[in-house]
Amino acid sequence: MKRLLPNLFLILSLLTIGIKTHASHITGGEITYRYIGDSTGIANQYRVTLVQYSTNRWSAVQMPSSVSMCITSSCFPNQTTTLAVVQGFVSPGQIIDPQNCGNNLSGGALTTFKMVYEGNVILPGICHDFRFQAATPCCRISAASIANIANFGTTSQQLFLLAYLNNTLGHNNSPKFTTDPQTVYCANNRVNMIQNVTERDGDSLQFNFSNARTGGGNCASVSSLSNSVFAPGFSSEKPFDTQNNFSITINQVNGNASFHAGPLIGFYVYSLAILEYRLNAAGTDYQIVGRVNREILVSFVDCNESPVSPHFLRRSIQGGPGYTNSNISTDHRAFMMGFTPSDSAAFSTSPTGYAYALPNVNYNCPDSLIELVLRRPIVNLTADASQFYVVGPDTQAIVGEKLYFNNNAYSDTIYLKPSQPLRFNGQHFLVIIKDTLNPLLTICGSEFADTIVYSLQASNCPDNLSVSSEITPQFRPTISPNPAEHTVSIFNPSSGRLQFEIYDLQGRRYRTGEIEARSKTTCQITDLTSGVYVIVFHDEQGRRLTQKILRQ
């Protein structure tokens, strides 16, 4: 018996160690849903997605291959279901890119993993308060480590995820987060908190920070849940330390927030709530049709070294240096001053003043939009493009009219619409001037330093297209508006019939049609997701022309 006791203590100690390595790693999550009954033929069937975020900073991470979820309502008994891990996700999950905010993370490093679970559920009928809810595996991190929350965070506390559905107003697709949460920010610097929320039903959205929640099991009643208590100086309206204690404004279109963080470093928890409103059948009142939340643990660090400000362009074509075109007047060297890469020497005959092989950008004039693919996603505070210029062989500077982002106002792909069409094929200069009023920012809040110059190679620009005229050459159909939200009008100026097809960038065809000679047709694109599409035209002589459109 005496021998058994030490062995028992040893076993219990090992078990305790095992429990500790499994604890204190859940950092956030969200539940979203979409209606699939229209495609499966099964009434009231929904596809539910549950995302869990975790970290291995304090302990080892082992995420389950499936999770349990409960569906509650005041109309029907509770029902439970199992959500399976999505193919491609293996414990502990896929690492979220922290965007390298700050070169010196010191104690603020926060490697975050993402696991995604999905499953189909059939609701028992119609009700105004369905709730998809789940308590995550153990556990949150210690409350002593959280700067803005006072009351939760023991190693036995679970995070509680919940999404709401009112299907008395019809089927619904919840708002969807299209961007992974950023988890590391620079204290005492501008912060761009990106969510990029989309909603496919045309409902009205309202965004606000809310209390984080914890509770019992999956089917716990909402009234039994515990709300977070904010530490002094913080609230649901201001869950972060901000410069001069300013409040935080959330973009009510996409849920993104931009603010200047205060100097307080540490870990913070925030919960973003999205309320979805729809007009009732009588047309007299807006009612809540859905609600989702995203909760996430983030780290604000002291960026002693400057945040990484990456080179702007990622995609360029092979070719010679940008200064080889002698048609571009050297008088514009002053216009391009400021582009002084450290690996470049002064070169007096170069229009830029430096012997640097400029990155090249291809541009097809009929597209009307210049595509720039970047090394890292950026943020633009407005759609203003006045800091973009295109300088052609005639030395005339064409200012940018508007910027369009592939994913709301945050993307690694942006589209520039010049204020005037380009008249010449061949080399131009694309100049991006630093603008303190509307800077291009990394997600970490750092600005792109100084002026940037690129070589733009234009093709298919009609020589007879005057900047001040609206002469449309034969077989050059026009598309308007571009970008577009709901419909596009296509005009065929030629004397023969045109056929057209619309493809996405993966080559999937979505539309086909014909346009009679000198006629216009309207094409619906409401059901297409936001992004870039290609329209391919064919005429009766076998000629082929492609143009890009941007679905907003």
What does the block give as tokens for 353?
A: 């003043």
pTM over 0.95: no
Domain boundaries, the chain: 20-301, 322-459, 478-551
Asked if the model's pLDDT at residue 2 lies above 80, the reply is no
478-551 CATH fold: Immunoglobulin-like (2.60.40)
Residue-wise pLDDT for 54-84, tens only, equals 988 877 788 999 999 999 999 999 999 999 9
Report d(CA 156, CA 396) in Å as an integer.
Answer: 67
Q: Which CATH number fits domain 322-459: 2.60.40.1220, 3.40.190.290, 3.40.190.10, 1.10.3210.10?
A: 2.60.40.1220
- Percent of the chain surpassing pLDDT 90: 26
Q: Is the pLDDT of residue 116 over 70?
A: yes
Enter the DSSP assignment of 350: S
Contact of 499 with 512, CB cutoff 8 Å: yes
Q: What is the pLDDT of residues 180-233, one digit of tens each?
A: 888 888 888 888 888 888 898 989 999 999 988 887 788 988 888 888 888 999
User: Is the pLDDT assigned to residue 240 strictly greater than 90?
Assistant: yes
What the block records as the tokens of 14 is 């090992």
Distance (Å, whole) CA 402 – CA 447: 19
Q: Mean of the per-residue pLDDT values for the chain? A: 76
> What pLDDT does residue 304 have?
59
Separation of alpha carbons 209 and 293, rounded Å? 9
Tally Cβ neighbours within 10 Å of residue 111: 15
User: How high is the pLDDT of residue 398?
Assistant: 80
CB atoms < 10 A from the CB of 145, how many? 15
Q: Do domains 322-459 and 478-551 have the same CATH topology?
A: yes
pLDDT score of 406: 61
Residue type, 430: L
What average pLDDT does range 343-369 have in this prediction?
60
**Number of C-beta neighbours around residue 197 at 10 A:** 24
Q: What are the distances in angstroms from CA 395 to CA 266, 281, 358, 403, 518?
A: 52, 59, 18, 23, 36
Spatial CA neighbour of 136 closest among 215, 229, 20: 215
Half-sphere exposure of 416 (CA within 13 A, CB side): 28
Residue predicted with more confidence, 284 or 34: 34
Q: Report the pLDDT averaged over residues 404-433.
A: 75
Give φ, ψ of 191 to 5 degrees: -120, 130
The pLDDT confidence band at residue 310, using thresholds 50, 70 and 90, is very low
